[in-house]
Amino acid sequence: KIMVTGALGQIGSELTGKLRDLYGANNVLATDVREPADGQDGPFRQLDVTDGERMQEIARSFGADTLIHMAALLSATAEQKPLLAWNLNMGGLVNALETARDLGLQFFTPSSIGAFGPTTPKRDTPQDTLMRPTTMYGVNKVSGELLCDYYYSKFGVDTRGVRFPGLISYVTPPGGGTTDYAVDIYYKALEEGRYTSFIAEGTYMDMMYMPDALQAIVDLMEADPGKLKHRNSFNVTAMSFEPSQVAEAIQKHIPGFKMDYAVDPVRQAIADSWPDSIDATAAKEEWGFEAKYDLDSMTAEMLEKLKVKLGK
């Protein structure tokens, strides 16, 4: 029985649906600080992850055996409100790890390519390398990785995690991320036929289509623990692109689509501190990670699904 925090977030909302399809709706408890706007197709409890006692009470009364901790502030928001980000991202994580330790739960929380910094090798970034991020979000993610490994080695908690690249989906728009331009562009392409990117042309970042990200979580959590040489957290990626390449992919479907740039210095500085493309060999070797979507297949599906969603 799985408890999810941040279940109404960009990843959490789709992850909860996938887990309910796989394991049964009543075996997946969604929690979030906000109340769901529309009906939930399974159990829901309101939870602010900075309230450790309530988290533990909810996990215990649900009879959870697995905790998937998704609640966090993303990179751009964290850079605007660094102390709030530290308190929520790290306070929430400690509460989640303590809950997992006390109740003997299997544990997942994501890290990010944001855990790397400007002194990290930018191309084919290794699984094990120098990590000195210069953003609060990155500090949270590196600290989180170390804390999750600590709970594994010190208390035997079965913690597992992946470093997600930018995630792209048509279901729940992201909030406060640096890679969000790669989601916004699809919406604007259909709504306005044009997009003004806040990330500069030529800025490469790793990206992945949401279905591949959700499958990666399931595959890692179901992996044979004896095969895992790493725990927190595995590099995973599907593609690396810069804004003009997304525009080209969209123009294959919408020939008149126009792109221009109005760079946001805050998010550009964050993006510039991150790798261009990371190496996911360890995830492939230790638990069979694979991404099915590339830029063209993702673009085709994003536009097709958004046309329906936007009534275009």
Q: Which of 137, 151, 170, 181 is catalytic?
A: 137
Is 6 a residue that touches ligand VAH (CB under 6 A)? no
CB of 77 to ligand VAH, least distance (A): 8
CB of 173 to ligand VAH, least distance (A): 11
- With respect to ligand VAH, which residue has the nearer C-beta, 108 or 137? 137
Which residues have a Cβ under 8 Å from the Cβ of 47 and sit 6 or more positions away? 5, 31, 32, 33, 54, 55, 58
Measured distance CA(151)–CA(200) in Å, rounded: 39
x-or-dash pattern for ligand VAH, window 84-113, by CB under 6 A? ----------------------------xx
Is 19 a residue that touches ligand VAH (CB under 6 A)? no
CB of 115 to ligand VAH, least distance (A): 9
CB of 114 to ligand VAH, least distance (A): 4
Beta bridge partners of 261: 197
Measured distance CA(56)–CA(62) in Å, rounded: 10
Give me the sign of the Cα torsion angle 183, 189, 191, 194. Answer: positive
User: Nearest-CB residue to ligand VAH?
Assistant: 177
- With respect to ligand VAH, which residue has the nearer C-beta, 58 or 271? 271
Our answer to whether residue 137 is catalytic in this structure is: yes
- With respect to ligand VAH, which residue has the nearer C-beta, 58 or 220? 220
- Whether the CB-CB separation of 1 and 62 falls below 8 Å is answered with yes
x-or-dash pattern for ligand VAH, window 139-168, by CB under 6 A? -------------------------xxxx-
Q: Kindly identify the residues of this chain, within the stretch 118-137, that bind ligand VAH according to CB under 6 A.
A: 137
User: Could you tell me if residue 76 is left (phi over 0), alpha (psi between -120 and 50 degrees) or otherwise beta?
Assistant: alpha
- Whether the CB-CB separation of 236 and 289 falls below 8 Å is answered with yes
Is 9 a residue that touches ligand VAH (CB under 6 A)? no
Closest by Cα among 222, 225, 235 to 66:
222
CB of 53 to ligand VAH, least distance (A): 29
Asked if the peptide bond before residue 197 counts as cis, ω within 30 degrees of 0, the response is no
The label of the residue with tokens 């190496």 reads 279
Q: 227 is written with which tokens?
A: 């095969």
Active site residues: 137
Catalog residues that contact ligand VAH under the rule CB under 6 A. Answer: 74-75, 112-114, 137, 164-167, 174, 177-179
